[in-house]
Amino acid sequence: MRQGWRWYGPDSGVTLDAVRQAGATDIVTALHQIPIGETWTVADVAKRKSLIEATPEGRIPLRWSVVESIPVADAIKRKGAAAKQEIECWITSMKAVAENDIKIICYNFMPVVDWTRTDLDFVTPTGSTAMRFDQDRFAAFDLHILARPDAERDYSDDDRQRAKTVFDQMSDSEISDLTRNIASALPGSTTESLTIEGFRERLELYADIDTERFRQNFIEFLDAVAPVAEELGVKLALHPDDPPRSLFGLPRVVSSASDYARLFEAVPVRSNGMCFCTGSLGVRADNDVVEIARQFAPRIYFAHLRATKREADPRTFHEAAHLEGDIDMVAVLRELLAENGRRSEAEQIVFRPDHGQRMLSDLKEDSAPGYPAVGRLRGLAELRGIITALQSQTAA
């Protein structure tokens, strides 16, 4: 398997030499500077690729092997095939990527909000910090800060009481921080940063879109782009919802094995594949991530390997160290290695350590939430150790 590293570009504070020192060989990145909905050009992609792959003398070569992500415009999510201009724009960007010989595109189809956390620096027992989704704090935001109409219907009496208690104890700065964490797009997000007023307006646009309509819109998007991807030799790697359940009453259609199965059945083109994210899928206890890896192995083109840990209220979770959450990472990697062994060199699975706790020098530096250098370095080292051990067993 190919060891990847998410890189946010030359201004991110993480150098390409740092990626080499972590032991990764494959870069996972995107043209984050281009606004959502605008077309990527062949020249723009080539410029970024040259920066990554122009190897200084004496350095280990890197390659840009995964695009994460080309954002799917909100109009596509709301209108499906009727958003013709936006779909054509996405296809044009995909063609620009393919023209530069980058053949894996990770993307998601989450409406209004992308991956969501309430806390970005939850202190763990070791003194490191991690991202966390606190159900009560989320409900406090939904019910009392966003004040979403009819939100009460999504919460039990106990949920509402706990949320009110949490909200009443918040200072103005805590309310501001929570709002920023949820409504402002986190790094790598493929949705826009929103004000509270803008958030309400965007939610209103989805008022008449139920889960089945939303799924159909997604299928119509795939019907348009997957055959083109097949012609270009591009693999589409669909990231699951994060967390894998409805937020703000919005539809979610990529939260379970059955969701993936329905999409693969509806659009069976081989380019229609998945980004296997153990952390996102593992938030739900009813998602058997090892079985999902086994079931969809031929469709896994990219993998995010991380661990989440459910708390007393299983709707609350935090980002655990890679080998310390609810994920049996050894069993997961055994399945991925088995599938990888059935593939050619050109089609090996790319994986990356996803998210990471802030620790050591990370605690003294500003880094993108979820993407500290040392925390991910630890994660990649642990994953590499498991892979080495499993391969040694197989060789013996």
Is the separation of the CB atoms in 188 and 68 below 8 Å?
yes
The one catalytic residue in 26, 89, 206, 239 is 239
Q: Is 275 a catalytic residue?
A: no
Q: Is 322 a catalytic residue?
A: no
Helix residue spans in the chain (DSSP H): 16-22, 42-53, 74-79, 84-99, 135-140, 157-168, 172-183, 196-205, 211-232, 257-266, 278-282, 289-295, 329-340, 373-395
d(CA 105, CA 69): 7
The one catalytic residue in 114, 119, 134, 304 is 304
Nearest alpha carbon to residue 319 among 379, 259, 256:
379
The one catalytic residue in 107, 206, 301, 371 is 371
Q: Is 144 a catalytic residue?
A: no
Is the separation of the CB atoms in 30 and 96 below 8 Å?
no
Going by the DSSP 8-state scheme, the letter that residue 81 receives in this structure is G
Helix residue spans in 54-195 (DSSP H): 74-79, 84-99, 135-140, 157-168, 172-183
Q: Tokens at residue 222, please?
A: 């795939």
Q: What is the CA radius of gyration of the chain?
A: 20
Is the separation of the CB atoms in 290 and 328 below 8 Å?
yes
Strand (E) or helix (H) holding 287: none
Tell me the β-bridge partners of 4.
26
The one catalytic residue in 119, 136, 326, 354 is 354
Q: Is 318 a catalytic residue?
A: no
Q: Tokens at residue 99, please?
A: 């023209």
| CA–CA–CA angle 314, 318, 320 (5° rounding) | 115
The helix/strand/coil state of 206 is coil
The one catalytic residue in 142, 277, 318, 322 is 277
- In the chain, the amino acid numbered 202 is R
The one catalytic residue in 144, 318, 322, 355 is 355
Active site residues: 239, 277, 304, 354-355, 371
